[in-house]
Amino acid sequence: MTSKFLRSVLAIAVVSMISAFAQTSAAAPSGAANSPATASSTAPAASTNIATGTGSKIGTINIEQAVVGTNEGQRDFEALRKKLEPKQNELKGQNDELENLQKQLQTQGDKLNEDARATLVKQIETKKKSFDRQVQDAQEDAQSQQKEIFQRILQKMAPVIVKHAQEGGFAMIVDTSNPWPQSPVLWYDGEKSDITKAVVDLYNTQSGVAAPAVPGAATKPAAPKPTTPKPATPKSSEPPK
């Protein structure tokens, strides 16, 4: 999953984009609001007022699953995973090296002379600081690129959601990406109200992006998340006595 900070940023983006397209759709002449030209030229509204339709039903959508579940999302997030893989492997190698040095200090610390022990401790501290800094940079870079993909697809998905809601007689669509109490939705009947799959199918048809080839059983991808290894933290950097 994305971090809490990234989730909050994306949540604001979701509300702004959906509201913008809903308001534009309501104001534009019939047939013009949902044209590709209108959708591509409409900027997300700064306001976070939630636009409601004139129907009577309330629907739900898991925006996170919808974006990641599209053919375009699967393709682009997989491409990002492969792009970040070399860095992940590099960090894993550094983490393994750091763990080995820490084990060496714990098991051989009492056998080393004072200078050798001090040198080993200093080496561990230097490598750990460098590793922690690189981990943070890698996580921020991964989240930034994930956010870019997410917002790019959401920008194109927003008018699809609005159009489907209007044609389906929905008065409101609620995002269920976060569980209660992070979300105001306490309970809902997914079989009757959820439009996630319908929106994904409509988006795939509109985008023209083919489904990526998945070896083995076709499973719904989970939301991407950074897999940067965390350094092992020794109980103490002091040599055993």
Find tokens 């490598």 and name the residue.
127
Q: Which residues share a beta bridge with 175?
A: 61
Residue-range definition of the domain harbouring residue 183: 1-241
Can you give the pLDDT at residue 70? 97
Q: Is the pTM of this model over 0.85?
A: no
Q: Which regions in the chain score pLDDT beneath 50? A: 1-5, 8-9, 12, 28-48, 217-221, 223, 225-241
Q: How many domains does the chain have?
A: 1
Residue count (the chain)? 241
Round to whole Å and give the CA distance between 141 and 88. 12
Contacting residues for 33 by C-beta, under 8 A, at least 6 apart? 21, 24, 25, 26, 27, 159
Q: Are 99 and 232 in contact (CB under 8 A)?
A: yes
